[in-house]
Amino acid sequence: MVPLPAGPEDDADSEVGRLRAENEQLRRALGSRSVIDQAVGMVMALTPCPGDAAWAVLVRASQYGNVKLRDVAAALVASAAGRPLPADVHRALLRARRPRSARPPRPPREAGGRCG
pLDDT in tens, 31-86: 778 999 999 999 999 988 999 999 999 999 999 999 999 999 999 999 999 999 99
Percentage helix, strand, coil, to 5, in the chain? 65, 0, 35
Residue 47 lies in a domain: yes
Apex 50 CA angle, 48 and 51, nearest 5: 120
Apex 39 CA angle, 60 and 70, nearest 5: 65
Mean pLDDT of the chain: 83
Residue 33 lies in a domain: yes
Residue 111 lies in a domain: no
Closest Cα partner for 40 from 13, 24, 12, 59?
A: 59
State the average pLDDT over residues 14-36.
84
Residue 114 lies in a domain: no
Domain housing 25? 8-97
Residue 71 lies in a domain: yes
Residue 112 lies in a domain: no
Q: Give the chain's domain count.
A: 1
Choice among 12-16, 91-95, 107-111 with the minimum mean pLDDT = 107-111
Residue 107 lies in a domain: no
